[in-house]
Amino acid sequence: MPRGTPSQKYIRNTRYVPVGLRLGTGRRINLQPRGNRGDCAPISKEEMADEIFLGNLGLVFEVIPAAEATDVISKQTTNQQTAHPALSQLRNAKGEEYKRGVVVEENFEDQGKTVAAISDRGMIQRFKAPGTVDQPLPDIPADVPPAEVADWVARNKNIEGPEAGLAGLRVNTDELHKEK
């Protein structure tokens, strides 16, 4: 809990994203997103006169008195739990409780798409999407109507096999037979 004199001030994040600032004194202040534990930090009168502090005041944080900071922090820790109680009810295939906890992930459909990978050396390897420098779009003839461009591109990729999405497809050139 924040303690201090009645004149003690705290800064509180006004944004719903983590923010950080390094004051001229060299002190680094990291504030968690608003509403999360760690979204406020004590600040001295000398630090409040800092040029970086003044430039960010009102944009990414606000100044609040110690009493308000105490109230905010107490409300943030009221319902704090290390694990959700419903997770303790989950069991493995043998009916035993999970010893190392349970990892909860988003559905695959709700997860984002990878657009780049960063190597150990810090190099960015972009996703090779059609229309990028690595994979230019094909030259589409002028006689192809705009509504049929996607179909034309799909049919003229000049690739075969699994890369064309034809894995496991068997082609038969015999005459069609109707099922009886």
Q: Is residue 28 part of a domain?
A: yes
Residues 71 and 119 in one domain: no
Task: List Cβ neighbours of 10 (8 Å cut-off, separation of 6 or more).
Answer: 2, 40, 41, 42, 43, 63, 64, 65, 66, 68, 69
Q: Is residue 61 part of a domain?
A: yes
Backbone angles phi, psi at 55, to 5 degrees: -70, -25
Q: Is residue 138 part of a domain?
A: yes
Residues 73 and 128 in one domain: no
Q: Is residue 118 part of a domain?
A: yes
Q: What is the pLDDT of residue 98?
A: 77
Q: Is residue 94 part of a domain?
A: no
Q: Tokens standing for 94?
A: 């043998």
The domain containing residue 140 runs over which residues? 113-160
* Alpha-helical regions (H) of 3-146: 45-48, 51-56, 66-78
Kindly tell me the burial class for residue 60, based on how many C-beta atoms sit within 10 Å of its own C-beta (0-12, 13-18, 19 or more).
Answer: middle
Q: Is residue 84 part of a domain?
A: no
pLDDT digits (tens, 9 = 90+) for 128-144: 665 666 666 667 788 88
Q: Is residue 32 part of a domain?
A: yes
Q: Is residue 67 part of a domain?
A: yes
Residues 125 and 71 in one domain: no
Q: Categorize the per-residue pLDDT at 123 as very low, low, confident or very high, splitting at 50, 70 and 90.
A: confident
Task: List Cβ neighbours of 88 (8 Å cut-off, separation of 6 or more).
Answer: 97
How many domains, the chain?
2
Element (H, E) at 155: helix 149-155
Final residue of a structural domain among 62, 78, 94: 78
Final residue of a structural domain among 78, 99, 131: 78
Q: What is the pLDDT of residue 29?
A: 93
Q: What is the pLDDT of residue 170?
A: 56
Residues 66 and 127 in one domain: no
Residues 70 and 125 in one domain: no
